[in-house]
Structure 1
Amino acid sequence: MSTTIATTRLLALNAGSTASTHLAECLAVDFAALLLAVAPTLPPSAIQRMHAAAGKGITQRMALAAALLREAGQGEVQHWQAHPSDTVRGWACYLIGGDTQAALSDKLQAMHPLADDPHFGVREWAWLALRSDIVDAPLEALALLRSWAQQPSPHLRRFACEALRPRGVWATHIALLKQQPEHVLPLLEVLADDPERYVQDSVGNWLNDAGKSQPDWVRAVCTQWQSTRDSVANAYIRKRALRSL
């Protein structure tokens, strides 16, 4: 069933004066209108490029918005990462991700507050914006994210898992982790009894992703956990991991 968004609500989203409350609102934002509202000094050609991209996927438009801001000399991450609009804060994520001069370690450090953002959408953009870097260097990313899996914030613990998902819905696949998911097992072990459902869902989804290429490995991990872990959290993770095997 489609979700109807009131005109006044959509106008507020497109003006950047408020944050979305669910995915349908995220997807309904007019990027060209929002870009014009929050960065009115952008050249008309930039707004036109965003208009022309209206039919493209949302991840492509997120990256384009960041590129347009950067090209216009308005790519200062700190300026955008505290904006009321979750979409604009997502553009800040892509400004970090699109910095071709920065190392992955520096990008992760810059992304830290956005990965811990109170808005669900911004937290997703945070790892998606770094996905190409992670695909290019999954073992380096894994080494850097091991400490994130032990952070007090469940948002950051989830980030460590989501960023390394072998597949993912909107994300480029990580070939190495599809074929050799065992690389990530030490990180998954840290999260195997996580008390937060938000993190449990991510770990279960990670294993379910891996099961599409390496089902026997996922079954073996779950069998071992069943005999060595008796938490309610781990039982939930195992059920989610095995749901399509």
Structure 2
Amino acid sequence: MSIIKRKGARSAKDIPMAILEQLNKGEIETANLVEWLAVDQVLLLKNVLEQFDKTCYLEPVLCDIKSLKKLTVNTVNEAIGVGLMRQSILNNDVTILAEMSNHKSDLVRCWTAYTIGRDSKLNINEMLEQIQVFAADTHFGVREISWLAVRSVILKNLNQSLEILLKWTFNENENIRRFATESTRPRGIWCEHSEELKKKPELAAAILNSLKSDSSKYVQDSVGNWLNDASKSRPDFVMDLCERWKAENPEEETLYIIKRALRTIKK
């Protein structure tokens, strides 16, 4: 099997040294979560900055990492992205982030996604427009980081964000459609909860209705998970919505979503 099409190791200890070396050099993408977690982001940063002849950015970004209260893959990921953005501004460097957004390494693209969520000059329209390319990325890690990077801004501008994301539900790209629900889940994963959506899930009803029979299982899972989140605080909303969908002669896709949506309620 080729390096590009490999499935990836089941545990970190099983990752071939040659593969790990290429990952840490940014020469290939990670194949699965095991590899994603195994990459040495500091080493990757050093190698990538050497590639771009920007080694002067290294020490300031390393200081940002050292100042983190909690070291996780995501906190380091964000610290590197924000640190690189700061250095690009200080050095009037208008190219490095654009070049990194198209890097071979999925983790390098993740760093760039975080710079969008932390750019205070962007309004919510501009931020979502810029994050869309990362939401559509072919790599699972970049897609997950894309919504994590902007979720706090989405929640602060919830009504406007929901209006924008409703349009995304009609996009031909399933990854972009999925972003509309995954980024607005009431409880979410690895991120802050939305107290407003936990109390008022009906705010996102238009998005949910638009995707209730989506052809993509990737999207169906996200819609079902969204509703399962909501069922923990507003079971009445979820049950009423599912009953209405059932009464409308639902398609197979809708029935699958309903099953996922009700899994906590039916325990």
TM-score in terms of structure 2 length: 0.87
Q: Cα distance, 1:18 vs. partner?
A: 0.7
Q: Cα distance, 1:51 vs. partner?
A: 5.7
Q: Cα distance, 1:134 vs. partner?
A: 1.1
Percent identity for Structure 1 against Structure 2: 37
Residue pair 2:61, 2:79 contacting (<8 A) in 1 also:
no
1:46 to 44, 47, 61: 61
Q: What is the SS of the residue equivalent to 2:147?
A: helix
CA distance in 2, matches of 1:8, 1:48: 29
Aligned residue number for residue 29 of structure 1: 39
- 1:59 is aligned with what amino acid? N
Residue pair 2:46, 2:58 contacting (<8 A) in 1 also:
no
CA distance in 2, matches of 1:220, 1:204: 14
1:58 to 50, 60, 73: 73
Residue pair 2:60, 2:83 contacting (<8 A) in 1 also:
no
CA distance in 1, matches of 2:11, 2:138: 26
Q: Cα distance, 1:191 vs. partner?
A: 0.2
CA distance in 2, matches of 1:217, 1:22: 36
Is 1:72 aligned to 2:87, yes or no? yes
- 2:83 is aligned with what amino acid? L
Is 1:193 aligned to 2:205, yes or no? no
1:148 to 144, 165, 168: 168
CA distance in 2, matches of 1:150, 1:143: 13
Q: What is the SS of the residue equivalent to 1:56?
A: coil
For these two proteins, the number of residue pairs brought into alignment is 245
CA distance in 2, matches of 1:52, 1:32: 14
Residue pair 1:135, 1:173 contacting (<8 A) in 2 also:
no
Is 1:112 aligned to 2:119, yes or no? no
Residue pair 1:63, 1:98 contacting (<8 A) in 2 also:
no
Aligned residue number for residue 161 of structure 1: 181
Aligned residue number for residue 146 of structure 2: 126
CA distance in 2, matches of 1:140, 1:108: 11
Structure 2 vs 1, CA of residues 138 and 104 (structure 1 numbering), >3 Å: closer, same or farther?
A: same
Is 1:217 aligned to 2:237, yes or no? yes
Segment drifting more, 203-212 vs 138-147: 138-147
Q: Cα distance, 1:33 vs. partner?
A: 0.6
Q: What is the SS of the residue equivalent to 1:147?
A: helix
- How far does the alpha carbon of each residue in 1:23-54 deviate from its partner, in whole angstroms, 9 at most, with x for none? 11111111111111111312434235436659
CA distance in 2, matches of 1:57, 1:145: 29
- 1:232 is aligned with what amino acid? E
CA RMSD of aligned residues (A): 1.8
CA distance in 2, matches of 1:214, 1:23: 32
Residue pair 1:86, 1:119 contacting (<8 A) in 2 also:
yes
Q: Cα distance, 1:55 vs. partner?
A: 5.5
Q: What is the SS of the residue equivalent to 1:129?
A: helix
Higher Cα radius of gyration: 2
- 2:27 is aligned with what amino acid? S
Aligned residue number for residue 14 of structure 1: 24
Residue pair 2:82, 2:118 contacting (<8 A) in 1 also:
yes
Q: Cα distance, 1:6 vs. partner?
A: 2.0
- How far does the alpha carbon of each residue in 1:6-28 deviate from its partner, in whole angstroms, 9 at most, with x for none? 22222211111110111111111
Segment drifting more, 4-13 vs 188-197: 4-13
